[in-house]
Structure formats: C-alpha cells, structure tokens
Amino acid sequence: MHYGVSESKESFVLLTEGLRKSFSFGNSKIEVLHSVDLTLKKSESLSIRGDSGCGKSTLLNLLARLELADSGSVYWEGKKLNASEKPSTHEISKRASFLGVIYQSYYLIPELTVLENVLLPNRFLDRVDSTQRQRAMDLLEKMGVLDKQNQIPGKLSGGERQRVAIARAMINYPEVILADEPTGNLDERTGGEVMDLLLQSCVEEETSLILVTHNPKFARATSRSSVLQDGTLNEV
Amino acid sequence: MKLPWPLYLAWKQLFPSQRKISFFSLLAIVGVALGVNVMIVVIAFMQGFQEKFKSDIIDAQGHARMIPVNPQGRSMDVLSSLGEKDEIIGISSYVQGQLLLQNRDYNSIPFAIGLEPDSCSEVLPLNEFLKQGHSVMDSHDAVDLTPSPTTDALEDEVVFISLEVANRLGVRPAAILQLLDENKTGLMDGEDGRIEVRRLDPFISSGEWILEILGSNRIMIREVISNFETVRKIRDGVIDLGYGNPVFEIKKGSKPFLPGMIFRYQCFRSSTIEVYSPSMIEKAKSDEMSPPYEVRVGGIIEVPWQGFHSEVVLGTARFMQVMKNQRDSADGYYLKFSDELARDEVKLASICKQLEGIWSDNWVVIPWFVENAWFFELLQFEEYLMILIMIPIGLVAAFAIAIALMTSVMRKIREIGLLVAMGAGQISVGFIFCLQGLIIGTLGAFLGCGLAIVFIHYRDQLMSFIVEQIAGEDGQVGVSQFYDFYSLKVNYPWESPASLINFLSFATFAIMVSTVAGLLPAWRAARLNPADALRSE
Ligand SMILES: Nc1ncnc2c1ncn2[C@@H]1O[C@H](COP(=O)(O)OP(=O)(O)OP(=O)(O)O)[C@@H](O)[C@H]1O
Ligand SMILES: [Mg+2]
C-alpha cells in the first residue's frame, strides 16, 4: 500500500506513515501496531479486517488523533500531523468537520432527541440553522427514521439507533467516516440493511470510509479491502 | 445569538428533551433553594430585630449626647451656638445623678435624670414612654378613665418613674375610675353620651365626684368629701375646675343626656415619694439636717430599650440641680437631628465630630450608636456567628452537588469520549459539568430568594402556627412577650439596602458554591483520555 511517485500526499484525504503503537502494562509491553502505512483517497472506501485484539480500534483512534502513537505521522487532507504529539487546538476544531465516527455501541446522548443528536456535531461548529436542520431531516429520511426524530434514543431499536448514528456522522459533510464494527451489535439482516445505507450514503456524498468489520461480506463491499495482521496493514 | 454548546448540553442534561426535569436536577435545585431560603430568612429576621432595637435605641436616648470633657468646662454659652446649627432640630439639657427614693419602708436608688420640661419632649419621646408605662386598672364595676400622663405634668415636685421603681416602692400615679353601680348611669353602648376625663394632674386629691344632668344644658358637679358643688353648661363641653381637679370632657352621643342621669367617679391621689440626695449626706455630716424633698408620682414610664436604666427617675432639671446642690449648670445636652440623618451613621458621626470641633474639643458629642456600641457589637457578633454556622450547611449542599455531578461524569464516561471523537474540545466537555453546577446554583438561588420572599410575607402566619404547635394557643402571648415576631419589620430586598445585600450575598454564595462543586467533575471530564473513555465499560 504505497503511493506512487507521481501521487503527492495532497491527493489523499487520509494517509499514515510508519504508525507505531505499543501498550505497556507493568513491565510487559505489547506492540499492537508496527509501522502501519495507510492511504485513502476521496470517495474511496477501505475495509479493515483482523483478529480480535489485533489493533483495529487502536488504529482508528490514532487516525482520529484520539490516542498518541509511539511514532509516525498522520496526514489529514495532506497536512502532516505528528501522531505522537498531542493534537493541537486547530486539529481539535478541525475534527468536527473532517471526521465522522460510528461505533459498535451507538453512543447516542440519552437526554437529546434523535434530531438533536444528529445536530450535535453541528453545534461544535456553531452553525445550527434551518438549512442544517433540513439536512439533518434529509439524512434521517434517507436512513428511514425520520418519523422518530422527536423520540429519545432510549425508545429506539438497535438498528434504528445505528441509523441515527450514521446520520449524525454525516451531518457535517465529513471527508472521512471512521466506522468501527458498526453492525457488530445487530443481527444479520438488520446489519445488512444498515451497512447498505452506510455504503450508499458514502457513495452519494462522496465521503471516504474506513470500515472495520469482521464480516467478510461487508469487507468485500468496499472499494478496497485490507487485513491488519502482526501490526501491519496489508491490502488484499 | 447561538447558545454555546456546552451550555446547551449542560441544560439538556438537567432538563432532558421529552422530559420536564430530571429527578437529580429537581432534588439539587430544591436543595440549594432550601439552603438559600433558610440563610436569607434567618439573617433577614436578625436584621429585623436589629432594626427594631435600633429604632428603640435611637428614640430612647436622643440621637446624640453632648457631655463636657471636664466638669468645669460646662457653661451655658454652648446652647446659643448649638441653636445656629441647621442639622440640630432639638436640644435639651439634662442633669443626672443618683437619688434615694423612699416610700414608708421601701427604698429604691434609681438613676436620676433631670430634664427641661419645655424642651425634653423634643429630644426624647417621653410621652410615648408614658403611654407605654400607663396601666389601666381592671374592675368589673368600674372603668379606669385615667388619661395617659404627658410631659405637661412635669414640674419641680413631680417625677416620672420606671415600673421597676414603682413596684419596688409600691407607688402609683393619680387615677380616676368611673363607677358603674346600679341606679347610676354607667358606660352605655357607644352611641350614648359619655363624660370622660381629659386631664388628671398629679396634685389631684382623692375624692368622689358626682356629675348629674339637670336639664338639657345644665350639669351639676359635686365632690363628696369636700362638699364642693357647682353647676356648668353642658354645651361648654369641657369642665375645667382648675389645677388639682379632674378635667371632665362631655362627649355627646346620638342619644341626648336626660335630666336625672348621674355619673359617679372615684379619684385616687398620686403617691408621694421622699427623696434624699448625696448632697444631703454632706450636709448631715456638718450637722445640718435638711428635710427630705417630697415629690409626686406623675406617671410611670417604660422605655422599650432594655439597655436603658431599668430603675430610673425623671424629674425636672431644676429639681436635680437642687438635689445635687449644683446651680444653673447642665451635665450635658440631648441633641436631636432629623430621622434621616440620625439613621445615617456615617453622616451623623461626621457631624458629631464637627460639633466637637466648635468648642475645641472641650465637649464630646456621642451619637446613639457609639453610646450603645457594645450592644450593636453583640448583635453583629450574633449575626456573624449565625453566618458562620450556616456556611457549612451551604458546603454540605455543595458536596452533594459535587458527588452527584461526579457520578454523572462516571456514568457518561463513554459519551464524553464520543463527544471528543465527534470534535468537541476537552475543556469544553469539562465545562458541561461546571455549567450544570452553575445552572443548579442559579436556579436554586432564584427559587430560594422567591421562597424567602414568600416566607417573609407570611411570617406572621408561619410564626403563630409554629408557636401554637410548640407552646399551644396560650403560649402565643408568652412567646411574643420576649420575641416580638408580630410587630417585627422584616424588609424585602427592594425596601432596604441591607436586605438586598442579604439576598444578593446568599444567592451569590449559592451560585459560587455550586459552580465550584462542578469544577472537580469538570476537571475529571476534561482530563479523560478519549480513547480510554470510548473503550471503558
Ligand atoms: N489503553 C490500553 N492499555 C493497554 N492495552 C490496550 C489499551 N488499549 C488497547 N489495548 C490492547 O491493544 C490491543 C488492541 O486493541 P484493539 O481494541 O485495538 O483491538 P481490536 O482489533 O479493535 O479488537 P476487536 O476486534 O476485539 O475490537 C488489545 O490487545 C488491547 O488489549
Ligand atoms: Mg475494536
């Protein structure tokens, strides 16, 4: 997974160079990621598979700059960020418009209605207005949960919650969506529906996607597939 | 204007969508409100007591007292320069000392003050004290018609004494009763004409007065013991037979007086007291025995200020000068200013200072609050002590809020991780919890102030309810004797600056404490590692 000489780093939405990450507990130390190089172009989708505990979630956290690497760099839209340094305030403020996140557990805010949950990332950018509200409703409609917009998340089913989470991840037109086993808590059929909606929306909105999944079927549905093994990412 | 999102989330966590209010917020806000309410009300009541004492004290001793630095310095010329001062609206000199009063075998050594009969009521509310001390005899077949004495009765052979002195000596002022025996015209219902007593001077002798209506405009007045008799016109209204006799006042009702109507009155002379002074002892040493001075009891005074000498005798300045054998000189002056000036302690102090300057500090001018500084310090101490006791109550509330918010941080740990992953700054995430403390504190403070206003408004009902529960219905009287809750003036915040400060400071205290309580959870939330937070169970 190396970019050609002709391709500059600017042409990638997301790119990493030599990401290393190890965890230590007590005096034992395990190296989870051992020089991960990853590229992602605009509108591309990349699936990552790997054994449980191989470091997929850790990799996503590094990409989102939620965790510090031992060494290596992450490039957000061609901009080099030192992965082993604390994110700057600029990065933090950029995160809301650059990234969308979806997790296995849906993490909706229980005190907010569905619509308010979707609009929440928007508030971080301080731009809630009627167009945004309309955008949120459109997304909910696309996800098929518009009728639940004034419900609180506690009254939704798992599949419905994950649809809301997808809408929330997309609200700010992010460049990249990081999805960590988004269907992990759902049954086969619901999982399939949700995955279809996710992939389809990413295509429609030209959003790049990194999809961590155990399901080979979903892994094949993305434009590129890779496997994380022994601390390195290998395209298949 | 857009709501900053931490405030938005803080608000939503306290007041979630689709639900009116979370149970936690309700408890927290009510808790803060109750605390604020209690603190405000306690201090407001204390301020009420202070105000009451203050007005009692201001009145009891004049607004300021001017005394010479050394007794030789007293001279009469200060009076003229005092009179030129616009701020001073009343001046009266006094002579003071200690006298021995005796009635038969009973003795009392009260503090004695000699006053100027003409001007003393300008500086001291003596008529009010006399009214307070005036007691009415209770009898089933007679009605006490004795009018409350006034300072008009004050002359050299007349004194006013405090109730303690009167009880110790077993003396009383003159009194007059209307007898309601059969065949005689009594006090009928309000519409009937009555004959009341307008004035009863201290030199009245005991006797029985009979007033009989003779015709439509004629009334006969007879005194049984002296066999004095005269006929007057009803139309004159007032029957004044001169000093030493009661002055009757005819009050016409809607029904006319009918010939043959008889009104009967029993009159009791005032007690006499023998007075001895220290100067008499000096004379006695040189074998010049002088007879005791005899005075009449003109009235009983009651000063509402407990710090005032409880055993006191008031006479004329001249009487005191004679007693002390000290001619034509005053021991000091009572000064009176406008009420507004008297209550402005800073201004009054500076004026007193200024007055002292006029006589190159040969006189000191002591304003009322300096005179009674010990008492105000005591009250102040009491208030501070109360605050000191109550602050831990506030802190307990703060701990409760801190614990609740901390629990909330723990419960929401994954949400916090998610907020950061979605692009929230960590400091801002911390703010959510701090702001929750602020919101709870603010709402609690407002509610507490509101409750306090309601409490102050219904204080009489509340107090009588509480007293009744504790002391029973009869207890009301007993309790109100010591704690004058009913007449207590408790100010609303818009009525006095002190009350406003009371409300504002406890409200601010509550807001600050709850916000500070939110700081620890906030700090906790801001320091979370977002990756760990997302991973946590
Ligand atoms: N904060 C941490 N401290 C210590 N070890 C950690 C920490 N975070 C992750 N690890 C370890 O790193 C390894 C990778 O974890 P990670 O969650 O990335 O795996 P994963 O590939 O996402 O697994 P799964 O498919 O089960 O979600 C695991 O062995 C985990 O125990
Ligand atoms: Mg994982």
pLDDT, tens only, B22-51: 888 888 899 889 989 988 998 888 888 888
For B220, the token pair is 């006969």
- Cβ distance B18 to A113 less than 8 Å, yes or no, reads yes
| pLDDT value, residue A38 | 92
Pairs from A124-131 (Cβ < 8 Å, separation ≥ 24): A124/A96, A124/B5, A124/B422, A124/B423, A124/B424, A125/A96, A125/A97, A125/A172, A125/B423, A126/B2, A126/B4, A126/B5, A128/B2
Report, as an integer, the average pLDDT of B141-156: 89
Using the beta-carbon criterion (under 8 Å), do B531 and A67 form an inter-chain contact?
Answer: yes
The Cβ of residue A18 has, within 10 Å, a number of other Cβ atoms equal to 15
Residues of A in contact with B18 (CB under 8 A): 113, 150-152
* 3-class SS of residue A52: coil
**Which residues from chain B sit within 8 angstroms of residue A150, using beta carbons?**
17-18
- Looking at the partner chain, which of B18, B423, B531 has a beta carbon nearest the beta carbon of A61? B531
| pLDDT score of A1 | 47
Boundary-marking domain end, from B270, B299, B314: B270
Residues B523, B389 share a domain: yes
Give the residue from B270, B298, B331 where a domain finishes.
B270
Q: Region B79-91: what's the mean pLDDT?
A: 77
Which of the four pLDDT bands, split at 50, 70 and 90, describes residue B260? Answer: confident
Confidence of residue B439 (pLDDT cuts 50, 70, 90): very high
Kindly report which listed range (B285-294, B445-454, B495-504) carries the lowest average pLDDT score: B285-294
Between CA A14 and CA A45 the distance in angstroms is 11
A124/B18 CB distance under 8 A: no
Residue position matching structure tokens 């009880």: B167
Centre a 10 Å sphere on the Cβ of residue B470 and count the other Cβ atoms it contains: 9
Q: Which residues of B275-305 are buried (b: 16+ CB within 10 A; e: fewer)?
A: bbbeebeeeeeeeeeeeebebbbbbbbbbbb
pLDDT at B222 over 60: yes
ipTM of the complex: 0.93
Residue with CA at minimum distance from ligand 1 atom 2 = A23
Q: Which of B423, B530, B531 sits opposite A121 (nearest CB)?
A: B423
Q: What is the pLDDT of residues B396-419, one digit of tens each?
A: 878 888 888 888 888 889 999 999
Does B42 fall in a domain?
A: yes
Residue B297 within any structural domain of the chain? no
The predicted pLDDT at position B296 comes to 94
Q: Are residues B38 and B187 in the same domain?
A: no
Q: What pLDDT digit, counting tens, does each position of B273-326 carry?
A: 999 988 888 888 888 777 888 999 999 998 887 777 889 999 999 999 988 888
Q: How far is A121 from chain B (nearest CA, A)?
A: 6
Q: Record the tokens describing residue A63, joined without a space.
A: 């990409």
Contact in structure between B271 and B255 (CB atoms under 8 Å): no
* Closest Cα to atom 1 of ligand 1: B532
Q: Is the pLDDT assigned to residue B391 strictly greater than 90?
A: no
Residue ranges near ligand 2 (ion) with Cβ within 5 Å: A 57
Whose structure tokens read 């009635």?
B103
Compute, in degrees rounded to 10, the torsion defined by CA atoms B81, B83, B86, B91. 120
What is the pTM assigned to this prediction? 0.76
Q: Which residues line ligand 1 (CB under 6 A)?
A: A 23, 25, 32, 50, 52-58; B 532
The minimal CB distance from B418 to the residues A57, A97, A107 is found for A107
Under a CB-based contact definition with an 8 Å cutoff, are residues B210 and B259 in contact?
A: no
Distance, CA of B109 to CA of B102 (rounded, Å): 9
Does B235 lie in the same domain as B384?
no
Domain that holds residue B237: 174-270
Does A66 contact B at CB distance below 8 Å? Answer: yes
- Specify whether B514 is located in the same domain as B382: yes
Residues of A in contact with B22 (CB under 8 A): 111
CA angle A208, A210, A216 (to 5 degrees): 125
The mean pLDDT value of chain B amounts to 86
- φ/ψ of residue B86, rounded to 5: -65, -35
* Test mutation, B14, B420, B422, chain A, max A CBs within 10 A: B422
What digits encode the pLDDT tens for the residues A187-207? 989 999 999 999 999 999 999
Structure tokens, B508: 């601010």
Judge whether B519 lies within some domain. yes
Which residue type sits at A195?
M
Torsion over CA: B53, B58, B59, B64 (sign): positive
Burial A54-77 (b: 16+ CB within 10 A, else e): bbbbbbbbbbbbbbbbbebbbbbb
pLDDT tens digits, B95-119: 999 999 999 999 999 999 999 988 8
**Residue A79 to residues A62, A74, A173, A177, B245: CA-CA distances in angstroms?**
15, 8, 19, 18, 114
Distance CA A161, CA A150 (A): 13
Over residues A165-178, mean pLDDT: 95
State the burial class of residue B523 (Cβ atoms within 10 Å of its Cβ: 0-12, 13-18, 19+): middle
* Distance between A114 CA and the closest CA of chain B, angstroms: 10
- Residue B353 belongs to a domain: no
Q: What percent of chain B has pLDDT over 90?
A: 32
Q: Residue A44: exposed, middle, or buried by beta-carbon count in 10 A (0-12, 13-18, 19+)?
A: buried
CATH of A9-235, one of 3.40.50.300, 3.10.450.50, 3.90.550.60, 2.40.400.10: 3.40.50.300
Ligand 1: which of A57, A103, A180 to mutate, judged by most atoms within 8 Å of the beta carbon? A57
According to DSSP, residue A145 is labeled -
The residue whose CB lies within 8 Å of the most ligand 1 atoms, and thus the one to mutate among B534, B535, B536, B537, is B535
CA distance A193 to A19: 34
Q: What is the pLDDT of residues B165-188, one digit of tens each?
A: 999 999 999 999 998 875 555 555
Domain residue spans in chain A? 9-235
Domains contained in chain B, number: 2
Q: Token digits for A172?
A: 């700010």
For residue B515, is it within any domain? yes
Residue B483 has a pLDDT of: 61
Extract the tokens encoding B376. Answer: 């105000």
- Number of neighbours of residue B87 by Cβ within 10 angstroms: 15
The confidence score (pLDDT) of residue B122 equals 85
Element (DSSP H or E) covering residue A1 = none
* Residue that terminates a domain, selected from B238, B270, B302: B270
> Is B492 among the domain residues?
yes
Confidence at residue B71, expressed as pLDDT on a 0 to 100 scale: 67
Residue of A nearest to B2 (CA): A126
Q: Would you state the pLDDT for residue B443?
A: 95
Q: How many CA atoms, within 13 angstroms, populate the side-chain half-sphere of residue B295?
A: 27
Residue B228 lies in a domain: yes
Q: How far is residue B409's CA from residue B9's CA, in Å, rounded to a whole number? A: 13
Flag whether residue A167 sits within 8 Å of chain B, measured between CB atoms.
no
Within 13 Å and on the Cβ side, how many CA atoms surround B523? Answer: 7
Closest Cα to atom 7 of ligand 1: A23
Do B515 and B386 belong together in one domain?
A: yes
Distance CA B63, CA B40 (A): 30
User: Within a domain: residue B122?
Assistant: no
Contacts of B181 by beta carbon, 8 Å cutoff, 6+ apart: B141, B264
